Amino acid sequence: MGPGTFVGVDVSGEWFDIAVVGRGNQRVRHDSAGIDELVSSLVAEGPVLVVMEAAGGLERALACALLAAGVPLPSLILGAFETSPEQRAGWRRRTL
């Protein structure tokens, strides 16, 4: 990673799957050691932007750790304003 790096994080109960534009993917456990590993590597490399999905609260510990470390993290909650599967399907069609 380096200047101009964009990072995406997929959040699940057991893992954080990390995709780095131009570099590839990695996986760390969804626990305090995995969070520490991920935050340390991101701080050391200085990414420009990290995005992650809202995952029912599973993302909170990582989000707090990233923000505390000064890592840029926008507030994105995809689909938060839709109320039905039909509306979500319409949103997907409009954005893909």
Do residues 52 and 62 lie in contact, with contact meaning Cβ atoms separated by under 8 Å?
yes
pLDDT at 23 over 70: yes
Query: CA-to-CA distance for 82 and 92, rounded, in angstroms?
Result: 11
Tokens of 6: 């964009």
Q: Which residues contact 15 (CB under 8 A, 6 or more apart)?
A: 27, 28, 29, 30, 34
Tokens of 15: 């893992």
Instruction: For the domain made up of 6-95, give the CATH fold.
Output: Nucleotidyltransferase; domain 5 (3.30.420)
Terminal alpha carbon distance of the chain: 27
Tokens 């991101």 appear where? Answer: 42
Task: Indicate the domain borders of the chain.
Answer: 6-95
Tell me the pTM.
0.70
pLDDT at 91 over 70: no
pLDDT category of residue 51 using cuts at 50, 70 and 90: confident
